[in-house]
Structure 1
Amino acid sequence: MPVPVDDLTDDEPFPVNPESAEYEALSFLVVHHEYGYTPQEIAVRTDLNKTTASNTMAQLVENGLVEQAEDVYYIDPRRVDELTNRLRSLDSAVELFEATPDNDSYAQEDWEQEVPSINPDEQTETSVERDSEAVKARAEALIEEVENSDLD
């Protein structure tokens, strides 16, 4: 019996946040995926202390992102490309939000209140009045044009 693709896909978000200990340790292991490292070695090569490195590695194993053999942690070679792409996506999201200008209208609260609706049923009184004035002005201009052309 066919199975819907939606039932086969994983809707779980990626369990690593940028600028977290998990991100730092996972990034290190992805970059150095040819080798396995102990938590102490990871701590020496990153900004993590030994306790944080140890707890972080346990969390990454629990989340299924890192493999463990005795006290050595490593990335499954078949997952290097996938994890590299995931980390790049996180980096891109961080860069996008850091690049948002402070004067961006959409970054201000209630910005949507200043934009008229495109739905005719939801148009504000102001936008309806503005549209009515534009229609009246155009009609008057057309009438004047017709009257002036009859005089010629």
Structure 2
Amino acid sequence: MPIDIDTFDKRSSEELNGLTNAEKVVRFLAANDDAAYTPSEIAARVDVKKNSIGTVLSRLEDRDLVRHKGDYWAIGDPDTVRDAYEAHRLLESLDERYGTEDLEEWREHAAEGE
């Protein structure tokens, strides 16, 4: 499916290649919600570089999407994960329909209203 040139110009290679590392981790842990894994095990299963997995897990934990005890990590609260996924899909849909926002343009207009 083709994408418009603005999307091509504004998105990173990672965004255009599909799932982000965070999405890969959440999907894996959600699909395996009956177990907890070490960061190395998660990295190997979802094809994320070992030196990146710690940062990914920490950011997901900050958003309550994963949890951990000791060296093990598991999916977070199912309701929280579902709500985050639904919000993510809605934002993607809006971006596809109306285009992504330009943060600098938004800041300029926000400053005008003061």
Matches within 5 A, 1:47-126: 47-76=47-76, 79-98=77-96, 100=97
Sequence identity (%)? 24
Q: Deviations over 1:77-106 (max 9, x none)?
A: xx11331232133124324433x3xxxxx6
Residue correspondences, number: 83
Specify which structure has the bigger relative contact order, considering alpha-carbon pairs within 8 angstroms and separated by 6 or more residues: 2
Uncovered stretches (5+) of structure 1, i.e. residues with no partner = 1-17, 101-105, 108-152
Contact 1:60-1:66 at 8 Å conserved across structures: yes
With over 3 angstroms needed to count, the CA separation of the structure-2 counterparts of 1:63 and 1:81, relative to structure 1, is: closer
- The separation in 2 between residues aligned to 1:91 and 1:55, in whole angstroms, is 23
SS in structure 1 at match of 2:43: helix
RMSD across aligned positions (CA)? 2.8
Q: Deviations over 1:64-88 (max 9, x none)?
A: 3321111110124xx1133123213
Contact 1:37-1:72 at 8 Å conserved across structures: yes
Q: Deviations over 1:8-51 (max 9, x none)?
A: xxxxxxxxxx9432232223222222211111111122131111
SS in structure 1 at match of 2:73: strand
Q: TM-score w.r.t. structure 2 length?
A: 0.56
